[in-house]
Structure 1
Amino acid sequence: MSDIDNCLTLLRVCYTWEFQLRAFDFQYFCGLANSIRDLIFSLLFGKKKPAITLKDPTIKYPLKLIDKEIISHDTRKFRFALTSPEEVLGLPIGQHIYLSAKIDGNLVVRPYTPVSSDDDKGFVDLVIKIYYKNVHPKFPEGGKMSQYLESLRIGETIDFRGPSGLLIYQGKGEFAIKPDKKSAAVIKKAKHVGMIAGGTGITPMLQIIRAVMKDPKDPTLCYLLFANQTEKDILLRPELEEVLANHPSRFKLWYTVDRAPDGWEYSQGFISEEMVRERLPPPSEDTLILMCGPPPMIQFACNPNLDKVGHSSARRFTF
């Protein structure tokens, strides 16, 4: 007799149990019969989890560039093929990958958070801002990895490694957060998640926002305060505003820019106490604040103003 025949026989037995037990109103045993029945249905008809590319976080996986999309004058979306068209990347929500390459004879490693997810089979997408040479006086050489990616040709590969990171979003407001790499994760629950992002620090926020909104049973509310130098620098704006249009009661979005154009309807300037107070959820044990951006922004703008408003350091996390 095959495994399927055995399962079907057991299923018939479970239905018989349920009928007989319901006659005596033995609710506990009926629930048990239902659980066994559901398990059998899952074994027979449940979807198998797809294979993943990132099987070992210590191994580098060379992935091939298959598409490059120009988003703006200095921003690109790079699409890399996974090792099989039926695989997903295998990146938990809140985690990132590392790209590594030999550039001018030196190994360069940089962290990135994909904008694609494990719903996407066969590829991974990265949206990356290119920091060119001789543009910013403080960084005359520009960004080594971003310029290397800009020069990468279709069909060429770069090494991926991961997953990595101290935070995993487990769904329905539950975050597993490690104080450091060697410590066990601490579970923190939140009904309200405030997010402060600067520039390219938007990518882990979008990853979490999408995961929350995808689940209609997830009661978590997300509030994003997104800082950039100019309106043109706002990365992934169409994607964010699509989420806002689809989930206006669950997602709140606010921008601030250093140099605002005429008619700008959002804030101008650095992250301030007023912005934190008005655009993020109030301090409570149900609130968690996530931050990702340049270290000076976190150190001199975010944390001091979160302190002023009364957000506990125990209810904050910086990517």
Structure 2
Amino acid sequence: MYSQGEEVIKPYTPTTLDTDVGYFELVIKMYPQGRMSHHFREMREGDYLPVRGPKGRFRYQPGQVRAFGMLAGGSGITPMFQVARAILEDPKDMTQVHLIYANVTYEDILLKEEIDGLATNYPDRFHVYYVLNQPPEEWAGGVGFVSKEMIQTHCPAPAADIKVLRCGPPPMNKAMAGHLDALGYSAEMQFQF
């Protein structure tokens, strides 16, 4: 995309799966000053947009691990949601998924209805714990930033057959890497999108 004569490239993770043939869906958080956000706001049905891909270093294979821990912040939920759907919608895949999803406010939670649907439809295989920095008055989830204690409580313990995926803003990614290291998750047990 071109903005004021400069090429702008922004990676997005589809929330659809490879089995969703003929289309893909993106979740895009609109920022007031975002150059891509501005372009998406201006688009109308029938407009064209150049797209490249797929691009990425993570490939999920059924049975790859016994359980995934997932640490997501903000729009970092999109690759987690895609992986969780791929696992849960495969009736032969018994992999457990434990998601900790952090946001500033309740209104910031992307895909909440879809995530809650996964928790309802796959209660034995999918677990979600929401964390808000500015929670509403009535709030049963976590408060503040994701802590080591939250990870210990809501993610599978370090083991050779688990992996913890993380995707969020750079400060969160850095803090989560520190927490995971301190809790004994080896480099092989971690992956950052």
* TM-score between both structures, scaled by the size of structure 2: 0.97
Tell me how far 1:237 sits from its aligned partner.
0.4
Alignment of 1:1-319 (within 5 A): 101-132=1-32, 142-172=33-63, 174=64, 190-299=65-174, 301-319=175-193
Instruction: Please provide the CA RMSD for this pair.
Output: 1.0
- Measured against aligned partners, the alpha-carbon deviations of 1:8-56 in whole angstroms (never above 9, x if no partner) come to xxxxxxxxxxxxxxxxxxxxxxxxxxxxxxxxxxxxxxxxxxxxxxxxx
- Aligned residue for 2:68, secondary structure, equals strand
Give the AA of the match of 2:18.
D
Aligned partner of 1:24 in structure 2 is: none
Residue 242 of structure 1 aligns to which amino acid in structure 2?
A: G
Long gaps (5+) in structure 1: 1-100, 133-141, 175-189
How far apart, CA to CA, are the structure 2 residues paired with 1:123 and 1:217? 25
Look up the SS of the partner of 1:303 in the other structure: helix
Residue 271 (structure 1) shift: 1.2
Bigger fraction of residues in strand: 1
Distance in structure 2 (CA, Å) of the matches to 1:303 and 1:124: 31
- The whole-number CA distance in structure 2 between the counterparts of 1:117 and 1:251 is 18
Distance in 1 (CA, whole Å) between partners of 2:23 and 2:158 is 39
Amino acid at match of 1:310: G
Aligned residues: 193
How far 1:246 sits from its partner (Å)?
A: 0.5
| Segment drifting more, 203-212 vs 111-120 | 111-120
1:63-105 alpha-carbon deviations (Å, 9 max, x no partner): xxxxxxxxxxxxxxxxxxxxxxxxxxxxxxxxxxxxxx11111
Identity across aligned pairs (percent)? 42
Query: Considering only CA atoms, is the larger Rg found in Structure 1 or Structure 2?
Result: 1
**After the TM superposition, which parts of structure 1 deviate over 4 Å for at least 4 consecutive aligned residues?**
none
Distance in 2, matches of 1:198 and 1:117, equals: 21
Q: CA deviation at 1:298?
A: 0.8
